[in-house]
């Protein structure tokens, strides 16, 4: 029974690291490709002094890229998962503060410019869910056999595709969601 629990934890851990790693990879690439507007997005949150928006925006894509690589490499123990959880938690808190301030009209800055989304509670929940997915990675110790790793990678890619689908659906204008296309 303990071996079965370990295998399940290992597969879930790999799936979460792949999914969140791909999320960070996509976000880093999108933010890097729109670096000129990223400082404005960071400043728009009004959580940092204005002069700190550009340095924060300059650091964010490389940090996300490094976390993506570390998560996808399945190496370096639990600290990449912990760092990713902290960053996702920071994003969720920044969104929640602005929503509570009544500033839900601003762009989330999630990195997907073609899916511009304003701040809302489902985005906060999404970031917390992504952080929670990584929790099993904190407890994962010991080795994994190749079938477990491959199953975890496949599940992680599947979760990432679901993430993309839900982001696309969430970005659709409300009046278009119920519209039928002929």
Tell me: pLDDT of 140 over 80: no
Q: For CA atoms 30, 32, 37, 38, give the dihedral sign.
A: positive
Q: Is 132 part of any domain?
A: yes
Please write the tens of the pLDDT for every residue from 101-116.
999 888 888 765 555 7
Q: Is 178 part of any domain?
A: no
Total count of domains within the chain? 1
Nearest to 27 by CA among 108, 96, 92, 132: 108
Q: Is 179 part of any domain?
A: no
Q: Is 50 part of any domain?
A: yes
- Tell me the whole-structure pTM to 2 decimals: 0.87
Q: Is 156 part of any domain?
A: yes
Which residues constitute the domain of residue 28? 2-170
- Residue with more model confidence, 7 or 56: 56
Q: Is 177 part of any domain?
A: no
Q: Is 180 part of any domain?
A: no
Q: Is 97 part of any domain?
A: yes
């Amino acid at each position: 029974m303990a071996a079965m629990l370990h295998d399940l934890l290992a597969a879930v851990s790999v799936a979460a690291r792949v999914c969140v790693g791909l999320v960070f990879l996509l976000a880093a690439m999108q933010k890097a490709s729109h670096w000129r507007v990223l400082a404005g997005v960071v400043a728009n949150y009004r959580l940092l002094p204005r002069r700190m928006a550009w340095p924060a925006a300059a650091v964010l894509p490389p940090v996300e890229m490094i976390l993506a690589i570390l998560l996808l490499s399945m190496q370096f123990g639990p600290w990449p998962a912990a760092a990713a959880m902290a960053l996702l938690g920071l994003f969720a808190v920044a969104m929640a503060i602005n929503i509570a301030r009544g500033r839900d009209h601003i762009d989330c800055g999630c990195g997907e410019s073609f899916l511009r989304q304003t701040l809302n509670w489902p985005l906060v929940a999404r970031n917390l869910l992504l952080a929670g997915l990584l929790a099993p990675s904190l407890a994962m110790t010991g080795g994994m056999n190749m079938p477990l790793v491959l199953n975890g990678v496949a599940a992680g890619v599947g979760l990432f595709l679901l993430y993309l689908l839900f982001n696309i659906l969430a970005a659709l204008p409300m009046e278009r969601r119920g519209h039928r296309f002929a």
